[in-house]
Structure 1
């Protein structure tokens, strides 16, 4: 039996996917999860599509070789770049991706002026263009948040330099938007800081909760849900492979989203 037989594998370029992991654990408390953070190569959003696709394939190969029964791509950039290729390679393994929560934002009462915060790769791919055309139209503004995911990777989320970076990226949209789509899984960890810059009345949307619900539905349909009555396990791995990095992952996992 493989070491993580029956686990659900979750991966991201770094700590951001832990925001999706938290939602999945809340939705599926009896399941075991293996999280892999590729922090040695973070962030993905500033790399080429080809590089992200190849690296994502390497990670999923590793997760499936470890025995996982399903995979969650907890990264908007990796989902956009690699999900179709991965599903074609592993047709018998449920592979769930994330995408910017533009639809929920567009149909909400606050959906008349939407700002999408994401990486350059996510915003540049056809997948996002189609999503924007279908649900956004001319009411959507986009901003490529270069450097933001890398800064979040460092922790210390209350430091002044993080607010200064946010001011430079999204400050010009203060008073101009009514909702914000957090198009990178790192960003829910700084929701409070984003609202500090844009205003507390701005509604925030991210895809973590919807991804967790979709994962539960797919596992149920595939008859892969755990029948274990107790609380499942959460294991962490990192390409940095250091105790300090795993400790940082656990710090993010224990942190309340939008606290």
Structure 2
């Protein structure tokens, strides 16, 4: 197998990164993908930065064993906490990460922006720098959502608990004139319909996925790794919770989404 024919590795702390994978697979339809969900250690967003760095490095090592040509960190927390260290530890491997799409919401002229993310993502310097840069121009509401990603790991069976959690979390901002929601965790796009319903007002969602896809395409082109033909593109799923039920959940979410 030549370098172009190798798969792209995508990973998250669990099922959330599948929402990123859906967009990447559409934007790069000639590529093969391997998705690794670290569901046995989910969620990352309530661990320390040092713990996330160790776990993310273990996942990248697992993906390297599958001979991937690039790795996408489809986890906002892991990007913020571990991307710099991963690049240093794997200098020959292109490594890209998802970022909270606050800039996209600001550039679109949104004035009341809700940022939903894990506690760790909102506590790290990367987000605080963005907040300091744009927080004087727009009203930005930072909403840590402890436990939400973990509930989404449960799939459709957890929908009643997800609704209860959202009702509690969004109660603090429901009276604000929110016109944009930045989803700072890749688990959250699976429940956009529920978030919109709970807010009770029209909002635009921002994920950053399209920008990540364009960056990935550019990085692959620069390295002559972009695949231009593929009669049978594949998506393969792996998990640290390696059970038939877990892998079936991955397949279901990739095909349909939770909503």
Give the structure-1-normalised TM-score: 0.94
Q: Which residues of 2 match residues 57-68 of structure 1 at below 5 A?
A: 57-68=57-68
CA shift for structure 1 position 141:
1.0
Q: Which residues of 2 match residues 46-65 of structure 1 at below 5 A?
A: 46-65=46-65
2:111 maps to 1:107: no
Tell me, what secondary structure is at the counterpart of 2:172? helix
Tell me, what secondary structure is at the counterpart of 1:156? helix
Contact 1:20 1:209 in 2 (8 A): no
Contact 1:6 1:68 in 2 (8 A): yes
CA shift for structure 1 position 163:
1.3
2:188 maps to 1:196: no
Contact 1:76 1:185 in 2 (8 A): yes
Tell me the matched-pair count.
256
1:119 is aligned to 118
Deviating runs (4+, > 4 A) in structure 1? Answer: none
1:164 is aligned to 164
1:187 is aligned to 188
1:206 is aligned to 207
Contact 1:157 1:190 in 2 (8 A): no
Q: Quote the RMSD (CA, aligned, Å).
A: 1.9
Deviations 1:151-196 (CA, angstroms, capped at 9, x unpaired): 0000116833221110100122124122110000000000000000
Q: Which residues of 2 match residues 108-257 of structure 1 at below 5 A?
A: 108-109=108-109, 111-137=110-136, 139-156=139-156, 159-176=159-176, 177-256=178-257
Tell me, what secondary structure is at the counterpart of 1:196? helix
Tell me, what secondary structure is at the counterpart of 2:155? coil
CA shift for structure 1 position 200:
4.2
CA shift for structure 1 position 107:
1.6
Q: Which runs of 5+ in 1 are unaligned?
A: none
Instruction: Provide the rounded CA distance (Å) in 2 between the counterparts of 1:58 and 1:160.
Output: 33
Deviations 1:9-31 (CA, angstroms, capped at 9, x unpaired): 00000000001101110010110
CA shift for structure 1 position 211:
1.1
Tell me, what secondary structure is at the counterpart of 1:168? helix
Tell me, what secondary structure is at the counterpart of 1:66? coil
Give the structure-2-normalised TM-score: 0.94
Contact 1:148 1:165 in 2 (8 A): yes
Larger displacement relative to structure 2 (131-140 or 201-210) = 131-140
Contact 2:104 2:208 in 1 (8 A): no
Contact 1:46 1:121 in 2 (8 A): yes
Instruction: Provide the rounded CA distance (Å) in 2 between the counterparts of 1:208 and 1:158.
Output: 25
Tell me, what secondary structure is at the counterpart of 1:240? coil
